[in-house]
Amino acid sequence: MARRNAGVIFLFGVLTWILLFPTMATSQSTPPCASSTNCTYNTNTNITSSASADATANANAGTGSSGGDSSGFTLSTPVFREYSLGEMEHATGNWAEGRRIGSGSFGDVYRGFNPYNPDETWAVKRSRIITQDFQREVKEMASKHHPALVRLLGYCIDFNQATQNMEQILVYEFVDNGDLEKWLSQDTARPLTGKERVQLMIGVAEGLQYLHSFGIVHRDIKPANILLDSKMNAKVADFGLVRLGAGTSTAVASTRVMGTPGYVDPAYYKSQKATPAADVHSFGVVMLTVLTARRAIHGVGDKQVNIKDWVAPLVDASNAAAFKDPLLDAPDDLVLRLAHLAIDCTRVPVAKRPSMARVLAELMDLREHFFGPETDKVVAGIDKEIDDSNSLGSLTMELKKAEQLGAGSGSGGL
C-alpha cells in the first residue's frame, strides 16, 4: 500500500512540474536590450534575404517554435538573423568612437558586444556605400560557411522616413588577432615565421577555392581583408560578392568595380567582368607582400613601383636576398618557389594563370616539402562548418598524406 501511495505522489509531482514549467519559462526576464526604448528587441527572425535553408532552420531553432519568445533566444552559438537598428546601436555603444576598429571608403567597422550575451564580441560593419545588391550579398554570405571565411552572424537594414537615411549593417564574428596588413608592418611584437606565412597563404587559398567552387568571386583580396585568429589561422573577410553565370568560367559584368589599387586585376578593371582569375591575380600580389613585407605599390628610391614589376626580374635572377623580408626565417629556395608561383598568378593573358585549386595544391606541396606533413588539423565539427563536400577536398588530401606517411604531430597553433 505504501509503495502504491509513493507512486501516486511521484506521478502527481511530475504532472505539477509539467503544468508549471511554461509559466516559469515565460516569467524569465527579457533580454537587456528589450526594455530600452533605444534598443528595441527585434523578434523578426525570418531571414528576409532568403538565406539558406540551413540558416533559416538554425534561426528558428534558436527562437523556439513561437518565433517571438525572446527568453529562448540565445546567440552563444552562431545564428544568422536580422537585427534592428536599436540593437546595433546598443551593441556598439551608439557607434562610440572608442569602439571603431577600422575605417575606409566602404564605411566603418566597430567592436560590438552581443546584447544578449555580452561575452560574445562582434565586428559590426556600418556601410557608407548603399547598394541595391545588399540583400543578395547577405543571402550569399549567410549560406557560405568555411573555417577560412569570416562568418556572417546577421544584418540590419533600416530606412528613416524623416531623414531619408538608409542604414545597411553587417554583423560578423570578431577575429581577435588583427589583419595581415598589421602583421606585415613594423608595429607587431614579432615577425611572422616562415611556416606561419606559408600556412596563412594556404588558408586564404582554401577560402577562395571554396568561394570559387560556388562560382563566387571575392574581388578585393588584400592584406587588410585577411584576418588572423588566436592560432594564426587566416580568415578571408569582406567579400562583396559577384556570382558567375553557368559554370565558374563565365564572367558577369558587375555594377561597380571592386578592388584596391595595386591588388586589383588590370584585366578585371578594364572589362568590369569578374572571374576567378581576378582573385588569383590579387592573391598572387598578396603572396608577394607576404614574402617582402612591402605594400603592393611602394617606394623604391625616389619613385613608386608595382611590387610585381620589382620582384619579377629578381626572381628571374634567383636573387631572393634582394627582395625577401629581412625578418623572414625561410630558405631562399622556398622564397623563390613561392615568388615564382605568385608571379604565375598575375600572368597575362589570364588564361595563363593557374586556378586557385592548383595554387592551393602547390602551396600544400611546398609546405610538406619544407616543413613536413601537417597532421594537427582540427577536424571535429568541420563538417558542420562546411556545407559543400567539394570544399573538404584539401583537408581530405592532407589527412591521406598524413596516414600514408604515419607522421607525428606538427606545431600546435598551425
Q: What pLDDT is attached to residue 233?
A: 97
Q: Which of 165, 150, 170, 154 is nearest to 109 (CA)?
A: 170
Catalytic residues: 220
Q: Helices (DSSP H) in 126-249: which residue ranges?
A: 134-142, 180-183, 194-213
354: three-class secondary structure by DSSP? coil
Cβ-defined contacts of 266-273 (< 8 Å, 24+) = 266/348, 267/348, 267/349, 267/350, 268/219
pLDDT, one tens digit per residue, over 348-386 is 999 999 999 999 999 999 999 999 987 545 433 333 343
C-alpha cell read off for 182: 598589421
Between vectors from CA 383 to CA 216 and to CA 66, what angle results, nearest 5°?
Answer: 90
**Would you list the DSSP string of 26-80?**
HTSPPPTTTT-TTS------S-TT---HHHHHHHHHHH-TTS--GGG---SS---
Q: What pLDDT is attached to residue 79?
A: 77
> Quick one: CATH architecture of 180-405?
Orthogonal Bundle (1.10)
132: three-class secondary structure by DSSP? coil
Q: What pLDDT is attached to residue 230?
A: 95
C-alpha cell read off for 90: 546598443
| R_g over Cα of the chain | 25
pTM value > 0.85: no
> Quick one: CATH architecture of 53-68+76-173?
2-Layer Sandwich (3.30)
Q: What pLDDT is attached to residue 136?
A: 79
Is 339 in contact with 315 (CB distance < 8 Å)? yes
pLDDT, one tens digit per residue, over 48-75 is 333 333 333 333 333 333 333 333 333 3
CA distance 100 to 241: 24
Q: What pLDDT is attached to residue 47?
A: 36
Q: What pLDDT is attached to residue 11?
A: 58
The pLDDT tens digits along the chain (414 residues) read 555 666 656 656 655 555 555 444 444 444 445 444 344 434 333 333 333 333 333 333 333 333 333 333 333 445 799 999 999 999 999 999 999 998 876 789 999 999 999 999 999 999 988 888 888 788 878 889 999 999 999 999 999 999 999 999 999 999 999 999 999 997 778 999 999 999 999 999 999 999 999 999 999 999 999 999 999 999 999 876 566 544 455 555 555 678 899 999 999 999 989 999 999 999 999 999 999 999 999 887 788 999 999 999 999 999 999 999 999 999 999 999 999 999 999 999 999 999 999 999 999 999 999 999 875 454 333 333 434 444 444 444 444 444 444 443 333 332
Q: What pLDDT is attached to residue 133?
A: 80
Separation of first and last alpha carbons in the chain = 67
Domain boundaries along the sequence of the chain: 53-68+76-173, 180-405
Q: Which of 267, 238, 85 is nearest to 172 (CA)?
A: 238
